[in-house]
């Protein structure tokens, strides 16, 4: 008997080992699920940042285009400024396209991780159900075996002699030969 209350494991060593293995598998599955949730959260954060970066790039593009128009108005001095603004516009466009491509890749990764997370949740649920069924079956078999052992160990009284009505000893009642009791 444990020192500090009743143990949560069975007293049968074989079942106790299976219960410990099942508990360890459940902990491992939970750790894997927690890791997948963490990866999903990180991917989601990266995706959110990339969307903000796209917005910033879009604002930079708008600003570059506006600067291009202002440079065109000041034609004396504007040729040089105009070329610079056009270059900035192209760079901003390339940057926006790169960030858009990056965001698309991150979104695909996020979708894959979301699907993996759902698959892992389903697998864990299925495994939990299997483990629970296995433990229930083992406990039912153990209870049936204990009941069978208890019924075998009870003494059978039909073989003892009894005292008859007139105080004489009588042999136990037996079935006629050839007839099974």
151 occurs within a structural domain: no
Among 141, 158, 133, CA closest to 15: 141
63 occurs within a structural domain: yes
Nearest-Å Rg of the Cα atoms of the chain is 40
178 occurs within a structural domain: no
Question: pLDDT for 140-150, tens place per residue?
Answer: 999 999 999 99
Check if the beta carbon of residue 78 is closer than 8 Å to that of residue 72: yes
What share of residues in the chain are helix, strand, coil (percent, to 5)?
75, 0, 20
E strands along 9-152, which residues?
none
165 occurs within a structural domain: no
Average pLDDT value over all residues in the chain: 83
Q: In which domain, by residue range, is 31 found? A: 21-143
Check if the beta carbon of residue 112 is closer than 8 Å to that of residue 56: no
175 band by pLDDT with thresholds 50, 70 and 90: very low
9 occurs within a structural domain: no
Residue 36's CATH number = 1.20.120.330
96 occurs within a structural domain: yes
More confident residue, 177 or 14: 14
Count structural domains, the chain.
1
Question: pLDDT for 13-50, tens place per residue?
Answer: 888 899 899 999 999 999 999 999 999 999 999 999 99
53 occurs within a structural domain: yes
| pTM higher than 0.75 | no
């Amino acid at each position: 008997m444990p020192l500090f209350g009743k143990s949560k494991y069975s007293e049968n060593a074989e079942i106790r080992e299976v219960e410990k293995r099942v508990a360890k598998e459940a902990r491992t599955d939970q750790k894997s699920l927690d890791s997948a949730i963490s990866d999903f959260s990180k991917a989601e954060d990266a995706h959110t940042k990339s969307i903000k970066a796209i917005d910033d790039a879009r604002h930079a593009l708008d600003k570059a285009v506006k600067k291009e128009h202002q440079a065109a108005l000041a034609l004396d001095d504007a040729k040089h400024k105009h070329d610079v603004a056009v270059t900035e516009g192209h760079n901003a466009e390339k940057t926006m396209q790169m960030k858009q491509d990056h965001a698309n890749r991150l979104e695909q990764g996020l979708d894959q991780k979301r699907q993996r997370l759902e698959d892992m949740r389903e697998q864990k649920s299925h495994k939990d159900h299997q483990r629970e069924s296995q433990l229930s079956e083992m406990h039912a078999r153990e209870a049936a075996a204990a009941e069978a052992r208890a019924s075998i160990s009870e003494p059978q009284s039909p073989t003892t002699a009894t005292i008859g009505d007139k105080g004489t000893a009588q042999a136990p009642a037996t079935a006629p030969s050839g007839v099974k009791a």
